[in-house]
Amino acid sequence: MVKDKYNSVWVSYSSIGDFLKCPRLYFLRNIYRNEQGNKINLITPALSLGQAVHGVLEGLSQYKVEERFLRPLENSFEEEWKKISGKKGGFKSIKEEVEAKERGKNMILRVEKNPGPLLNKTVKIREGRNETPPHFYLSETDNIVLCGRIDWLEYIEEDDSIKVVDFKTGKNKEDKESLQLPIYSLLLNALQKRKVSGASYWYIDKDDAPLSVNLPGLIESKEKVLSIARRVKTAREKMALSCHYGQGGCFACQPFEKIINGQAEFVGFGEYNQEMYVI
């Protein structure tokens, strides 16, 4: 019998992160649909800033190496910023937006002055059908699909390998227990054939170059990710998706409770036709 991926339990770095923070948050962001049949999401200045910066940098992969920096990146940044300016980006004042935009612009200028791996060829993982993210069966037995996108894959011609570059626009460093790299390892092993010869986080708010990190082994990665994915599946089947703090909710799920209770402002549609709100 051929399995239907669209009836499988899909997990990703972000959805697993939601579940670990709060099962109710996971339900409201990943399962719940409103009366119009749409999913909901909260937009914040930090998310908007990251979206604009990632849009510029990831967009460079569409160009040939010799063409990537012919046009000032600041021009591209201005275009990306228009998409999230004002309430659409969760900004509550002109001052807040101006400060965020200045931070983003400085990140873009930092990369333009220190392009590093962005001067090299890149490799892309093919998207799934119907614009779904790259994905594969993490476990056919459990009917669990793992999906995700990687910011940048630098191609190393010397040994026909690839290196992962993940752009970080936040102020904090990635937690050592983060599942991001284990998930990247699994995706790359399943969806492409080249050797992965390195990985790095690029904290572009303060660093001129990416910081090398170790990719975990495949066996360890699968055990860790699949273990949590099974917990997600079990919780979905039992609908055990309440907040650990009870009816009052926690810092993670409370903003989404406000959205469904009509206490948030609709500002437009996001990716996959999500309804976006600000508090």
**Cβ proximity of 22 and 252 under 8 Å:** yes
> What pLDDT is recorded for position 1?
40
CA–CA distance, 125 with 134 (Å, rounded to integer): 7
> What pLDDT is recorded for position 3?
62
Structure tokens at 33: 């649909």
For 77-113, how does the pLDDT look when each residue is reduced to its tens digit (9 = 90+)?
A: 999 999 999 999 999 999 999 999 999 999 999 999 9
Distances (CA, A) of 91 to 46, 88, 204, 220, 267: 10, 8, 22, 41, 11
CA–CA distance, 66 with 210 (Å, rounded to integer): 21
Distances (CA, A) of 166 to 8, 58, 136, 211: 28, 10, 21, 10
**Cβ proximity of 119 and 205 under 8 Å:** no
Distances (CA, A) of 161 to 21, 121, 156, 198, 209: 35, 11, 5, 9, 20
For 46-88, how does the pLDDT look when each residue is reduced to its tens digit (9 = 90+)?
A: 999 999 999 999 999 999 999 999 999 999 999 999 999 999 9
Q: What is the mean pLDDT of residues 163-184?
A: 93
CA–CA distance, 278 with 41 (Å, rounded to integer): 9
Mean predicted lDDT score pLDDT of the chain:
94
Model-level pTM greater than 0.85? yes
2 pLDDT band (50/70/90 cuts)?
A: very low
> What pLDDT is recorded for position 265?
96
Residue in 187, 206, 188, 210 with CA at minimum distance from that of residue 197: 188
> What pLDDT is recorded for position 36?
93
For 196-218, how does the pLDDT look when each residue is reduced to its tens digit (9 = 90+)?
A: 999 999 999 999 999 999 989 99
Q: What is the mean pLDDT of residues 153-170?
A: 96
Q: What is the mean pLDDT of residues 263-267?
A: 96
Instruction: For CA atoms 243, 246, 252, 254, give the dihedral sign.
Output: positive
Q: Tell me which CATH code domain 5-42+114-278 carries.
A: 3.90.320
Structure tokens at 19: 């579940």
Q: What is the mean pLDDT of residues 137-157?
A: 96
**Cβ proximity of 77 and 104 under 8 Å:** yes
